[in-house]
Amino acid sequence: MGLLSDPNRRRALISMLTRLNAPICVVCYMAGVAWFMGLAFEPFTLRTYMSENAMGSTMVEERFPSGERALATGREFSAHKKRAGGMPVDWLVKTMQARGLEVFTQRFSRTLPFPDENKERYMVKGTNVYGILRAPRAPRTEALVLSAPCTPGDNNNQAVGLLLGLAQYFRNQIFWAKDIIFLVNEHDLIGMQAWLEGYHHTNTTGMDWSPLQGRGGSIQAALSLELSSDVITSMDLVLEGLNGQLPNLDLANLFYAFCQKIGVLCTIQGKLQRNDWDSVSGYSHSVQTMMLMVMKQASGRPWGDHGLFLRYHIEAATIRGINSFRQYKTDATTIGRLLEGMYRKLNNLLERLHQSYFFYLMPSLSHFVSIGYYMPAFGLLAVILLLRALDLWVQLATPPPRTEDGVPDTEQMSSPGVLSVLTPLVISHLTGAALYTLPIQFQEMAVEHFPVSETEAVVLTAIAVYTAGLALPHNTHRLLSGEGTEQGWKVLKLVAVLYLAVLLGCTALINFSLGFILALTLVPVAAFVTPHVPKVLSAFILVILSPACTLLFSVFFFQELQEVPTSFQEGWLLYLSVISQGILDHFLYGSLVYPLIALLVYPCWLLFWNILFWK
């Protein structure tokens, strides 16, 4: 504190920070990237451990015996699904009732803002079927959920069969202290959203659904099961939910503990755990696994039906069976015992899962990176913005140089008008508002005048508005105030840098992965852009580091991480699909990535674009 309270020392510190501003910023950027890459190195991570005492031991005896019968039920479900052309509601109701459950149905419908070409649907109508196993040893104030989505074709039939087999087995046990809800939802996330809204008496998305006739207690935890093969080589754990939310780490620890106990091969991001962490290939494998989690979390979309539970503070995950080339095989009985063990431990909970971490990254199922370890990487990038803001503030506070006659330079001394700074801010945000609203509003007009579908019209309109924004705010400081001043662009950049620092900081607190990726690309832009740098080269760099190009590069990078490289044409089509899915996820489920980019990040980037062409 003495360093800052002493005026002489304070001036010396500020002088050093401004004099060495550029080298310090470069060092901070390199240190932030190096810190992040080091997080995947096993000695720098923490080994997972169970924090919840009620789930601390796996000493339960799993006895589920009916794997083959469950697969037969799945084949029967598949036959009735083909015959009905969709969800076999009547058959499911009768089958659940025969297993002693209280069975209810829920109808729902939703008209999408524009057709979903990936799943070929526009007007969605369906029915959810769920059965409740009432707790015989408790006042029925709490519940657990096991769900399996009913998907088109031959997908996930085995999961529904195993769900019904577990329902019959659980019905014969007397130790349940919580209601267990067995849910088969139609139309994947849309059906799950309708059921959750009906269960909690909320309607945040404007969907039409019938009220639920039966409810259990307050839901403590949920698992979504996805199995599409009779033989499974490994079980993959999916954690990423809506807007980058993650379940409590103890839920992942519970899954890993029972996989180790029963002998089931388990993966995360589809990657097996390796023991050669001290080799280059082992470290590369950990980086690849962690980066896949970062990319999925940054997308803001739910990567399984469990993702929508998290917004209701329900700890949930998706367990997905994978049938690959591996020689290791797991039968349905073993998977049933895995789920039985997990539900028996969740049944012991006296309160919601809260003791372990909610913010973490996982380079493997046995190790994790806590928020205290990965936040410094973002902090090193964010401090660059503060250093640049300090440098600009010092420049603005420094008296202007004097001429040979001893008179202050009037050109340097002229202060910017309010409109010269306010006008770019307003126009940039109006452009962002147009990017958010026009693609949906103008789709019908675009379809009438151009030979495109509704989905193509939405995506192409978004790209057109985004591109037009590069020209619209150009030299907007001259719109009302004439020529811009030297002080004017510095004030505008000071505002833009502080704006970006607050924006990235708030984003990283909610979704670290999204905030870090945006910081990697936007912080260099904010650091180097001035009106005095070479225009053509700087404009090219700004476009390359813009939000749209960042998304394009992320699409190709994600495909490389998944070891599914694509050509440029395939990547471009996938890029257009990602844009349409991002807009759909916002209007269907409430994903915040699209409005964040359109209303805040893109206008902030336009401010730096305006500074580059300041005259």
8 Å CB contact between 167 and 238: no
412's tokens: 């340097």
Please tell me which residue, 563 or 92, carries the higher pLDDT value: 92
Using DSSP's 3-state secondary structure scheme, residue 392 falls into helix
Q: With a cut of 60, say whether residue 478 has pLDDT above it.
A: no
How confident is the model at residue 22, as a pLDDT? 83
Query: 280-299 and 512-528 are packed helices; what angle lies between their axes, rounded to 10 degrees?
Result: 90
In 213-279, alpha helices (H): 249-262
Q: How far is CA 199 from CA 90, 148, 182, 212, 306, in A?
A: 22, 17, 14, 7, 15
Q: With a cut of 70, say whether residue 154 has pLDDT above it.
A: yes
Q: With a cut of 80, say whether residue 252 has pLDDT above it.
A: yes
- Min mean pLDDT across 397-401, 427-431, 572-576 is at 397-401
**Separation between Cα atoms, residue 212 and residue 199, nearest integer Å:** 7
Q: What is the mean pLDDT of residues 368-377?
A: 93
Q: With a cut of 70, say whether residue 54 has pLDDT above it.
A: yes
**Separation between Cα atoms, residue 242 and residue 580, nearest integer Å:** 17
Give me the sheet containing 208-209, strands edge to edge: 208-209, 102-116, 121-133, 179-186, 142-150, 218-226, 315-322, 234-238, 266-268
Give residue limits of the domains in the chain. 53-352, 421-613
570 Rama sector, left if φ>0, alpha if ψ -120 to 50, beta otherwise: alpha
27's tokens: 């060092």
Give the residue among 599, 69, 558 at the shortest CA–CA distance from 291.
Answer: 558
Phi and psi (nearest 5°) for 274?
Answer: -115, 150
The single residue listed with the structure tokens 């001043």 is: 485
Using DSSP's 3-state secondary structure scheme, residue 361 falls into strand
Residues paired with residue 319 on neighbouring β-strands, in sequence order = 225, 237
Q: What is the mean pLDDT of residues 30-37?
A: 94
**Separation between Cα atoms, residue 269 and residue 266, nearest integer Å:** 10
Predicted confidence band of residue 402 (pLDDT cuts 50, 70, 90)? low
Q: What is the mean pLDDT of residues 565-575?
A: 89
User: 360-364 and 46-47: which strand pairing?
Assistant: unpaired
Which class for 201: exposed (0-12), middle (13-18), buried (19 or more C-beta within 10 A)? Answer: exposed
8 Å CB contact between 503 and 600: yes
- The pTM of this model reads 0.90
Give residue-wise pLDDT tens across range 287-330. Answer: 999 999 999 999 999 999 999 999 999 999 999 998 877 777 88
Give me the sheet containing 360-364, strands edge to edge: 46-47, 367-370, 360-364
CATH 3.40.50.300 fits 53-352, yes or no: no
8 Å CB contact between 335 and 162: yes
For the chain, state the CA radius of gyration.
28
How confident is the model at residue 447, as a pLDDT? 78
* DSSP H or E run through 440: helix 418-441
User: 179-186 and 142-150: which strand pairing?
Assistant: parallel
Q: With a cut of 90, say whether residue 451 has pLDDT above it.
A: no
